């Protein structure tokens, strides 16, 4: 009765993508906040109205985002790695994503309309690619997988889609 999970996990190096991405954002956020906090004393504003920005209270504004960012870097990638699964068979795309709310999707290849493979700079560095498929009304996220594999898969899927002449309705 039950469904077995999709057979493939994302490659473990995808974790780096999930770590480095948020880390970069965290850095940017921290720098901005730091700049604001550090420059606050020089603003032409009555100091007492800006108490919340001055150290020591002002440091909270730096530390809290830092903490959140760290959590995002440490916990989230592992959870994602454990949860994300995908499989592409001769006839179907089968994926599972989501941790708190898990979403399992099954779609026939013949009804796909588009396959998208995207690579950010980080992905290129790690040899990964983000793949997702589109049906008439939905997007099915396969996830970050090996770039070469993604290319092969996408070629294969597109060939199948192209061969099918119906209008995918």
Partner 1 sequence: MSDTTPPTGQHPDAAPTPPGTPTPPTPPNAPTPPDASAPEIEQQPTWTPPLPPTDQTPPAGQVPPGGQTPPPGQTTSEQTPPPGHLTSGESTEPGTQHDQGPTHGLQPGHGGEQPSQPTAVPYPGSPRYGTHPGQTPAPPPVAEPEWQRLSWLSIPVGVLDNLASLLVIVVSVFVIGQTGNVWMLIVAPLALVAQAAASVVAYLHTRFRISGDRLEKTEGFVSRKQTNSRVDRIRTVNITRTFVQRLFGLASLDVETGSDGEQFKIVGVTHTTALALKTNLDTHPARGTATAATPGAHAPNAGAGPATEPGAPQPEPSDAHPSGHPATPNLAGGAGPAPGHTDTRTHASPASAETPDETAGILARIQPNWPWRAGIAGQGLLPAVALLGVLFGQLSAWLGGTLETWLFNNFGELWELLPHGDVGSLETVRHVATQPFAWVMFFVSIVVFLAVSYVANVITYIVTNHNFELRRINSTTLQRSAGLFSITTASIDLDRMRGVQVTDTPIRRIAGLASSRALLTTGRVTLPSLNTNRLLPWSPLATNWQVADALLHTEAERRTPLQRHGPRAARRLLIASARGSLVLTVIAVAFAWGKPAGWWVLTGVCVVFLTVLRTLHAIALHRSRGNALTAGHLLLRSGYLHQTTTVVQRRVALGVRLRQGPFQRWLGLADLHVMDTAQGHKAHDVTLGRALSLAGELTPELVDQFRVRPAINSAHHLPAPGEDSVNDV
Distance (Å, whole) CA 90 – CA 59: 56
Q: How far is the CB of 142 from partner 1 (least distance, A)?
A: 11
Distance (Å, whole) CA 87 – CA 90: 10
Q: Looking at 35-43, 58-66, 68-76, 82-90, which segment touches partner 1 (CB under 8 A)? A: 82-90
Q: Are 77 and 9 in contact (CB under 8 A)?
A: no
Nearer to partner 1, 55 or 98 (CB): 98
The contacts of residue 46 (CB under 8 Å, 6+ apart) are none
Q: Looking at 39-47, 55-63, 116-124, 129-137, which segment touches partner 1 (CB under 8 A)? A: 129-137
Q: Looking at 8-16, 30-38, 39-47, 52-60, which segment touches partner 1 (CB under 8 A)? A: 8-16
Q: Which of 57, 59, 106, 125 binds partner 1 (CB under 8 A)?
A: 106
Q: How far is the CB of 62 from partner 1 (least distance, A)?
A: 30
100 makes contact with partner 1 (CB under 8 A): yes
107 makes contact with partner 1 (CB under 8 A): yes
Nearer to partner 1, 61 or 84 (CB): 84
The contacts of residue 136 (CB under 8 Å, 6+ apart) are 111, 113, 168, 169
75 makes contact with partner 1 (CB under 8 A): no
Nearest to 21 by CA among 148, 149, 128, 101: 128
Distance (Å, whole) CA 155 – CA 63: 46
Q: Are 132 and 141 in contact (CB under 8 A)?
A: yes
The SS3 call for residue 2 is: coil
Interface ranges with partner 1 (CB under 8 A): 1-12, 82-83, 85, 87, 89, 91-92, 94, 96, 98, 100-108, 111, 113, 135-138, 140, 145-146, 149, 165-169
């Amino acid at each position: 009765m039950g469904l077995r999970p999709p057979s493939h996990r994302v490659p473990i190096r995808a974790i780096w993508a999930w770590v480095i991405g948020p880390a970069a954002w965290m850095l940017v956020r921290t720098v901005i906040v730091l700049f604001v906090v550090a420059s606050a004393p020089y603003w032409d504003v009555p100091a007492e109205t800006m108490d919340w920005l001055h150290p020591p209270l002002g440091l909270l504004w730096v530390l809290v985002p830092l903490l959140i960012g760290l959590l995002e870097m440490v916990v989230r990638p592992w959870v994602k790695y454990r949860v994300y699964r995908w499989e592409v068979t001769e006839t179907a795309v089968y994926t599972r994503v989501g941790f708190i709310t898990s979403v399992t999707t099954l779609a026939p290849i013949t009804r796909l309309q588009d396959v998208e493979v995207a690579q950010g700079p980080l992905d290129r560095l790690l040899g990964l690619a983000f793949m997702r498929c589109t049906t008439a009304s939905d997007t099915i996220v396969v996830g970050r997988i090996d770039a070469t594999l993604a290319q092969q898969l996408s070629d294969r899927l597109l060939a199948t889609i192209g061969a099918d002449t119906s209008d995918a309705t």
